Amino acid sequence: MVHRKSVVELADAKEQGYFSIGRAAEISGVTAKMIRHYESLGLIPKAARTLGDYRVYSQSEIHTLRFIRRARNLGFSMSEIGNLVSLWRNQRRASKEVKRLALAHVAELDSKISELQSMRAALTELADHCHGDSRPDCPILDDLSRGSRTHEGHEHEA
């Protein structure tokens, strides 16, 4: 078996159930660049290395990569993912902490959705007032140049 400090040939590592970074990327759906990034952040352990200094990953690490990919797809930040990975690995965790993190993220998403809906309404209103023809006058550009108040009530500088 490949241990973190032992070094073997890539073919031997593959025979022992380890995967090259390219194959781990393919199986997990995470790019090789992001695998290296997650490793640098400590979300996955430092990869075992072959004699040729190639990174190799176990099935367990690929499972963690899939977990991270799913969390990213749900919009969790890297910090939140770090917390979720720690909770996932801790078999004695309290599920209330996981739920608290999830509900806090839902609240952040609700806030972002509200902001996006406000921006959409403002742009729709501006577009409704634009003739969209060959004339040069454009209420959209006029509004942007004035730095007018948005629907969220934030002032923008001109």
38-87 confidence digits (pLDDT tens): 999 999 999 988 888 889 999 999 999 999 999 999 999 999 999 999 99
| pLDDT score recorded for residue 1 | 46
Residue 107 in any domain: the answer is yes
User: Which CATH number do you get for residue 43?
Assistant: 1.10.1660.10
How far, CA to CA in Å, does 87 sit from each of 50, 97, 124? 31, 8, 43
Q: In terms of domains, do 61 and 105 share one? A: no
Q: Cβ distance 115 to 74 under 8 Å? A: no
Confidence of residue 8 (pLDDT cuts 50, 70, 90): low
Q: Where are the beta strands (DSSP E) in the chain?
A: 7-8, 19-20, 48-50, 55-57
Q: In terms of domains, do 70 and 106 share one? A: no
Positive/negative CA dihedral, 24, 25, 30, 33: positive
Which tokens belong to 85? 């990975």
Q: Provide Rg for the chain, Cα atoms.
A: 24
**Structural domain span for residue 29:** 7-74
CA nearest neighbour of 17 among 52, 53, 63: 63
Element holding 53 (H helix, E strand): none
Residue 105 in any domain: the answer is yes
How far, CA to CA in Å, does 136 sit from each of 84, 143, 158? 53, 14, 20
59-73 helix and 32-41 helix, angle to the nearest 10 degrees = 90
Looking at the DSSP assignment, which residues form a beta bridge with residue 48?
A: 56
Confidence of residue 148 (pLDDT cuts 50, 70, 90): low
Residue 151 in any domain: the answer is no
What's the rounded Cα separation, in Å, for the pair 26 and 35? 11
| pLDDT score recorded for residue 150 | 52
